[in-house]
Amino acid sequence: MHRTRSPQRAKLKSRVRQLVEFKGIRQLSRQKYTEHIRDLYDGPAGSVLALASLISLHEPLVGRMLRKGRFDVTRFKRILDIGSGAGQILGHLLRATDSDTQIVACDLSHQMLKRARNRIKSERPDYIVGDMTSLPFPSESFDCVTCGWVIEHLSDPRPGLKEFQRVLVPNGRVFLLATEDTVSGFLTSHTWRCRTYNRQELQEACEEMGLPWHEQLWLSRVHRFFKLGGILVEAQKPVAAESDSISLHKADSMPAVSV
């Protein structure tokens, strides 16, 4: 169920967000913004992404969540990691799953995938360059999608969520992590040129795209108490999802890009 905020509070928070978060994502065209983000991650900022994730404790805490089964990845056999970056979540997926589990790392930045491959040093994942709003995979290709702090690079999350739903099998799960509209979130917005979300709007977008939330998660008890760490949820594609309720498209192949 939604925790509905008062209209006055929601309106005030929306105005604050418009004032303080990175404005380029709403001002640039989708193509220009995508090019901007690709250049950002191809450059020096992308080279320190893994270190930044360690310093913020996001990477080790996500790893602990997976090890402790708070999001149980051992039940899946085909996992797509969207926005793999330097392999922050990818490495944990490799350690937490069986050797016969297929794992695909997908990122907009070819350079980031090269960094992930060099860092992970494993031949097991497939590395594929792709845009999360137009994924190069056939429908119902995966039983799990992970997406860590990437959906905030969309001014409207629906095109990305629509693709997540398309490539998932019925009853497939999404492990979604997103930047929240908090003070720390606004700082993240300027550092990584992204937007922020509030829980209600992201939950409504997920439900609209056929991915209702199954459970809200937290990096730790401290994060939960102080409302830190962003929005972490497990969403689920319903078994009885109507395929014609959302416009789906199929891809003929799953092209791998050598990195």
Tell me, what CATH number does 161's domain have? 3.40.50.150
Residue 140 reports pLDDT greater than 90? yes
| Distance between CA atoms of residues 56 and 192, nearest Å | 14
Confidence category of residue 57, pLDDT binned at 50, 70, 90: confident
Using the structure block, give the residue that is written with the tokens 């051992």: 74
Do the domain assignments include residue 219?
Answer: yes
Confidence category of residue 24, pLDDT binned at 50, 70, 90: confident
Q: What are phi and psi of 195, to 5 degrees?
A: -100, -175
Condensed to tens digits (0 to 9), the pLDDT of residues 169-223 reads 999 999 999 999 988 888 888 888 899 999 999 999 999 999 999 999 999 999 8
Do residues 118 and 231 lie in contact, with contact meaning Cβ atoms separated by under 8 Å? no
Do residues 122 and 99 lie in contact, with contact meaning Cβ atoms separated by under 8 Å? no
Do the domain assignments include residue 46?
Answer: yes
Residue 166 reports pLDDT greater than 70? yes
Residue 61 parent element (H or E): helix 58-67
Confidence category of residue 257, pLDDT binned at 50, 70, 90: very low
Average pLDDT over residues 228-256: 66
Q: CB 48: neighbour CB atoms within 10 A?
A: 11
Of 245, 143, 131, 154, nearest in space to 202 by CA: 154
Do the domain assignments include residue 193?
Answer: yes
CA dihedral 1, 205, 5, 192 (to 10 degrees): 130
Do the domain assignments include residue 135?
Answer: yes
Nearest 5°: the CA angle 145, 201, 169 is 25
Confidence category of residue 45, pLDDT binned at 50, 70, 90: confident
Average pLDDT over residues 97-117: 97
Q: Is pLDDT larger for residue 18 or for residue 124?
A: 124
Do residues 142 and 78 lie in contact, with contact meaning Cβ atoms separated by under 8 Å? yes
Do the domain assignments include residue 123?
Answer: yes
Contacts of 77 (CB under 8 A, 6+ apart): 100, 101, 102, 143
Report the chain's mean pLDDT, rounded to a whole number: 87
Per-residue burial over 149-162, b if 16 or more Cβ lie within 10 Å, else e, is bbbbbbeebeebbb
Confidence category of residue 10, pLDDT binned at 50, 70, 90: low
Do the domain assignments include residue 248?
Answer: no
Do residues 196 and 156 lie in contact, with contact meaning Cβ atoms separated by under 8 Å? no
Do the domain assignments include residue 56?
Answer: yes
| Distance between CA atoms of residues 227 and 221, nearest Å | 10
| Distance between CA atoms of residues 28 and 11, nearest Å | 24
Domain region containing 208: 9-236
| Distance between CA atoms of residues 41 and 48, nearest Å | 9
Confidence category of residue 13, pLDDT binned at 50, 70, 90: low
Q: CB 99: neighbour CB atoms within 10 A?
A: 6
Do the domain assignments include residue 181?
Answer: yes
When divided into structural domains, the chain yields a total of 1
